[in-house]
Homo-oligomer: A and B are copies of this chain.
Amino acid sequence: MIDSSVAVSCSNCSVRRLCLPAGLSQADIDRLEQVTRRKKIVKAGETLYRSGDPFANLYAIRSGSFKTVVIAADGDTQVTHFALPGELLGLDAYSSRVHPSYAKALEDSSVCLLPFTQLEILAHQVAALQQQIYSIFSEELRQENDILMLLGKRSADTRLAALLINISSRYSRRGYSHSEFVLSMPRTDIANYLGLTAETVSRLFSRFQRENLIKVSGRAVEIVDLVGLSELAGTHCGYDED
């Protein structure tokens, strides 16, 4: 499973500016690389970790994308995140020492393993890294607030609009087009994430297209009227659009 031939250093990793704190010296980066050397390839549909797995690593996504899913006692599931390159998985496992959710690759993906105990030790020595960890935790909490807001009281069209804008801004953040992208997840996952049904999501895609907000062809999306879509979404949940 673990392919060390994939090993690429942090300093030339395509997502480095998202993973690394700004103020790290070259020496610090070198030390971080010692900790993060192991990479892993995960094929589409494979799980990165399962619910109940012992917590050992955080995972930084280098390429591809994942969904994280929690399973209720009655077997019902809830998609809690769509994770894109440069984002971190596994933070919610620290306190219980067990992953409360599972992460499944939506497409062929590669991740960087961050053994948390080693990271902890390094963070203890490098203040900037420590702060970066706090910052990631905190940012994660803030984003959850946005999702709560979305699921709490919003109509179906608002939810989908907000998701599209969110994903758009996250793609643009990593340097890709913010107006054209290919969703890596099926409609059912989008529906589950938004607390809707796949049918409703499908109808909304059609309606958005009819209203000239977007163009859709399967999973390929082009945002035609960003302003209109943002208005629908209510501007909040725009996250950080650099």
Report which A residues bind B (CB closer than 8 A): 70, 72-74, 76, 78-80, 91-96, 100-101, 120, 124, 127, 130-131, 133-142, 144-149, 151-153, 192-193, 195, 234-236
Contact = CB atoms under 8 A, between A and B. Distances in A.
Interface of A is mostly: helix
A149 B95 contact: no
A200 to B, nearest CB: 12
> How many copies of the chain does the oligomer comprise?
2
Nearest to A194: B152
B140 A141 contact: yes
A152 B159 CA distance: 12
Contacts of A145: 70, 78, 80, 92, 100-101
A159 to B, nearest CB: 11
Closest 7 CB pairs of A and B: A94-B138, A73-B235, A151-B151, A72-B236, A95-B139, A92-B141, A137-B137
Nearest to A73: B235
A36 B94 CA distance: 25
A151 B148 CA distance: 8
A104 to B, nearest CB: 16
B95 A151 contact: no
A94 to B, nearest CB: 3
Contact of A74 (B100, B120, B138, B236): B236
B96 A142 contact: yes
B95 A135 contact: yes
B149 A74 contact: no
A136 B141 CA distance: 12
A234 B152 contact: no
Given A92-B138, A138-B91, A141-B91, A74 B148 contact: no
A146 B71 CA distance: 10
A76 B93 CA distance: 32
Contact of A137 (B127, B138, B147, B236): B138
Contacts of A138: 91-96, 137
Given A76-B234, A93-B138, A152-B192, 19 more contacts: A73-B236, A76-B149, A78-B152, A78-B153, A79-B152, A80-B145, A91-B141, A94-B138, A95-B134, A95-B139, A95-B142, A96-B138, A96-B139, A100-B142, A120-B134, A124-B127, A134-B137, A144-B144, A147-B148
A160 to B, nearest CB: 14
